[in-house]
A and B are shown apart, each in its own frame.
Chain A
């Protein structure tokens, strides 16, 4: 150890400044992208933000509460289809978002019920079943009046409303970008406030030791069900955005199948599960690396090269960054700076290093 890391207390001025700088850097990145307005580049960034919204939802139930779900593509699809069906029946696009969230919330609560009894891989497989069943249900001919069957629903373009500074169809990509970014920020705010509440502490307690949490008086059933619902609602809103960006929904869309569920899960772990910045970082990483691998495959026109490259990257990442990109950055940061929780008031005079164990497990460690 050549250099001792500098110790910063959580909530101190220095810590706040650090948080602001990080937030500012991200804000600058997005505002710049939004002002430059390159159509293709912005489209890809919008995709990443939509994915990040869904990942934020999954992070609540899987990252923080420890209930593995490989079924979030279904909630994503439910949101998308709710918006599509309502727009098709003449609703204003904007009003379909809360409805999509509510529908996904209710279905999420119902799907969360097995989580009261099933654990780990068993729950994962039941949710995986949901992901597999969803496209089959969309294709089911008796529901074709509602879902449009294999053809799906088309013409969902959401032109910028009059109160926005955007100019109709020409600025459609800008409008979708800012709309997605706004909804992502709202969803992130709800998630981070939830995590700082009593429910948030209950969620983490259930993940770390369910029996102990129950003994301490945590209402496991209520917390699991409601968080499953909220998580589904966030994925649902992401689905709504997805539908209006694509302007159509149909059962064949990969994101509504198990592939979508796996994408959301991989993006979460790749970013760093149970971390504030994880969903955004993971979604950006996933979207851009996947796109890069695809370009490599196309340029060399070798069948399957894109998938092989991406697969190898995932394996290497799992090997060298088991706690995701955020975990890797945190490890790097720990060489220079150590953030410790504020000492309890009664011990305020003590050395801050007394609370060092908080850094022992990186998955629970602090954020900048």
Chain B
């Protein structure tokens, strides 16, 4: 029986959890951005990100630096998603919400299989943006922390800062918040709602591409890479509240840490049960707060 508490191992596990949680947080953010615009869960969100990651892999094979490749792929993904919003989603949206679900499942399936069609069924490897040689770590309270993991968390922090500026300091951000709040009023106030929806989808796609490109070096780039993380991220977004970006980040990081704790310290549950346990925790939170931790609870007027 191990009674002594290994604090160095604990810190390492927490940093790993934070790194993984940051990926969930980014994906959850993109889910929330789309949800605020459309009021729907976009099942294809992870696949759009994966599409970008495949583009990154193609670019790096022709010697484009990885960071530049990710930026290019983010732009491509954004344009693709904005087009999807305009061509596929918007014509359906006002007719039947159920049909939007089917369309996004169709997108999920179509894009997912498109990967195998274009890039073949075999997994590829993607280089990491961060230094990941054996000696690329720094010490935190004596525990070695790898840049590869901690770097992802730093990227998340930078992303959050940029998003904060976008939402709070720019005209587009103001318009996006207005559209999320009430599409009709925003339209009456002179905002081009359609354009803002496209920007929202594009922004979400760019974030997903970033998340997928940061995940691929560890998970291996294949058509099935994003399905699990997408489910966890949507659970994270629900935990935080589907209309709250802060909630998405908190939810994503929390699920990453919970996973690290369960795998590290509750060994008898085994790897398969991790997600099940996380879901139980989320269910309890939702029963206590039906709108998620940070979500708005809508009050209906009768």
Contact = CB atoms under 8 A, between A and B. Distances in A.
A122 interface: yes
A342 to B, nearest CB: 28
A122 B112 contact: no
A211 B99 CA distance: 25
B111 interface: yes
The number of chain B residues touching the other chain, given as a range, is 35 or more
Contacts of B290: 117-119, 122
A322 B95 contact: yes
B204 to A, nearest CB: 16
A129 B279 contact: yes
Contacts of B286: 114, 117-118, 122, 126
B235 interface: yes
Given A118-B290, A212-B302, A307-B112, A313 B106 contact: yes
Nearest to A125: B238
Contact of B283 (A114, A314, A318): A114
Given A303-B116, A314-B102, A133 B235 contact: no
A221 B144 CA distance: 53
Nearest to A118: B290
Contacts of B134: none
A132 B106 contact: no
Interface string B277-302: 00100110011001110000000101
A78 interface: no
A121 interface: yes
B35 interface: yes
Contact of B238 (A122, A136, A141): A122
Interface string A287-328: 000000000000000111111101111110111001100000
A128 interface: yes
B272 A140 contact: yes
A124 interface: yes
A55 to B, nearest CB: 13
A312 B106 contact: yes
A136 B276 contact: yes
Given A121-B41, A136-B276, A270-B102, A323 B96 contact: yes
Interface in A101-149: 114, 117-119, 121-122, 124-126, 128-129, 132-133, 136-137, 139-141
Nearest to A138: B272
A266 B102 contact: yes
B172 interface: no
B275 to A, nearest CB: 6
Interface string A262-274: 1001100110010
A295 to B, nearest CB: 15
B155 to A, nearest CB: 26
B113 A311 contact: yes
B121 interface: yes
B190 interface: no
A283 interface: no
Given A121-B41, A129-B235, A308-B110, A319 B275 contact: no
A293 to B, nearest CB: 10
Given A133-B275, A136-B275, A307 B110 contact: yes
Contact of B300 (A126, A132, A211, A269): A211
B234 interface: yes
A207 to B, nearest CB: 12
A366 interface: no
Nearest to B115: A304
Contact of B105 (A133, A312, A314): A314
A132 B292 contact: no
A363 interface: yes
Closest CB pairs A-B (n = 3): A311-B110, A307-B113, A314-B106
Given A117-B287, A137-B276, 7 more contacts: A121-B242, A136-B272, A141-B270, A303-B120, A304-B113, A314-B110, A322-B95
9 contacts: A119-B290, A126-B282, A129-B279, A304-B114, A304-B116, A305-B113, A305-B117, A312-B110, A315-B103
Interface of A: 114, 117-119, 121-122, 124-126, 128-129, 132-133, 136-137, 139-141, 211-212, 215, 258, 262, 265-266, 269-270, 273, 302-308, 310-315, 317-319, 322-323, 363
